[in-house]
Amino acid sequence: MTTDPTKIRPGDVASSNAKAGEGSLPDPAPSSAASIADFVAKVRAMAPNAVGARGRLIFALDATMSRQPTWDMACGLQADMFREAASLGSLDIRLIYYRGFNECRATRWISDSGELARLMTKIDCRGGNTQIGKVLSEARRDATASGVRALVFVGDAMEESVDELCTKAGELGILKVPIFMFQEGTDAGVEQAFREIARLSGGAWCRFDPGAAAQLRELLRAAAAYAAGGREALMRLSARQPSAAHLLEQMK
């Protein structure tokens, strides 16, 4: 069975990702009150931090042209997330990325760092606008279908309606899926949007300098610690890692 990237029809993400390494994500649809209530009921019936359960982390990346240097860096650093999680339990990661003209793709759940690295090295960055809304919508679907402990997003831009993104972030917050928004660069407008998305989800925002591998490594390790071991694991890591402490201070 191949795990190489394959393109699938919009709307087939949930069923097709079990058969392929990657699939296109459909355009996000607005949430109705009934669908939100049904979603909340399903997630509350889950046991997200059950003893022995595998942690699940969505790792989302902006793969537009400006992201090429950090994409290459992330390919080398993602193994650290697995190593950090391994010391606490176990972790499955689902990679979501967007690039080019209306292209947003997702892999199946991956439990091996080598497999994730192989998939990432096959992806090149392409010019295009941000599609953060699709990422948040897919995280919501995953939380309903299989449970998600955290969403990590790495990017440097935001070209969508901030109000719509904040609505989706708030829904994830109700469902106890914190978003860790990691911003490359110093754009003030992006920072304001990313901070609000993180706040509404119960997550955290942090900036890292362009090309700063050490900073991004610490942030990814902290997010993995939370996904694998919850708040207590992040608290333990914060005693020896400043980035983890900074994230923990923001999480309410």
Render pLDDT for 105-157 as a digit per residue (tens, 0 to 9).
999 999 888 888 888 888 889 999 999 999 999 999 999 888 899 999 999 99
Alpha carbons 204 and 188: distance in angstroms, whole number: 16
Is the C-alpha dihedral spanning 145, 161, 98, 198 positive or negative?
negative
Q: Is 57 helix (H, G, I), strand (E, B) or coil?
A: strand
The identity of residue 175, as a single letter, is L
Digit-coded pLDDT (tens) for 69-80: 778 887 778 777
The pTM is what?
A: 0.81
Burial of 243 (0-12, 13-18, 19+ CB in 10 A): buried
pLDDT of residue 141: 95
- Match 């090309």 to its residue by tokens: 211
Digit-coded pLDDT (tens) for 11-47: 333 333 333 356 677 666 555 555 555 544 544 444 3
Q: Maximum CA pair distance of the chain? A: 46
Burial of 186 (0-12, 13-18, 19+ CB in 10 A): exposed
